[in-house]
Amino acid sequence: MASFAISHFLEFFFLFCPSGVIPFILAKLEYRFYKYGLTKNGFQKEYGIIAKKYVTIPYERIQNIDMSQTLLERILGLYDVNIQTAGMISMMGRFGGRRAEGILPGLSKDEANHLRDRLIEMSRSQGGRGV
């Protein structure tokens, strides 16, 4: 009897949980472990649940900062901030298309504008090439 209940629980778990609960938990963990900040040397971000990744972009390498929105982000009122650097050409995607070295997804409009303005200010004060 117990094995029957366990097998039904496992069936339920593997059929219904991956469709909503597991992605929700992963998204919450990813959000919790995503950090960024401006230091005196450059822009830094840290992310990853199991394997941590650290990115530091010196202000003088920043060439362009833009904000973008997908359709879903537009509905939710969120923005992505893309920090492009002098080394971005070497980071061309596998199928063409450029990608920014520093991408910050899902920021509010005020937070995205404030971050963009601070990055421009810091880049110009440190002799950035663009912006």
Tokens standing for residue 95: 């199928």
Confidence of residue 126 (pLDDT cuts 50, 70, 90): confident
Tokens standing for residue 106: 């899902």
Instruction: Order across the sheet with 35-38: list the strands.
Output: 35-38, 42-47, 53-58
Locate tokens 């990055």: which residue?
119
* Contact between residue 82 and residue 65 where contact means Cβ atoms under 8 Å apart: yes
Confidence (pTM): 0.70
- What would the pLDDT profile of 91-102 be if each residue is shown by its tens digit? 555 445 555 568
Instruction: Give the C-alpha separation, 74 to 77, whole Å.
Output: 5
Domains defined along the chain, listed by start: 1-32 (no CATH), 36-125 (2.30.29.30)
pLDDT at 119: 93
- Kind of pairing between the strands at 102-108 and 78-85: antiparallel
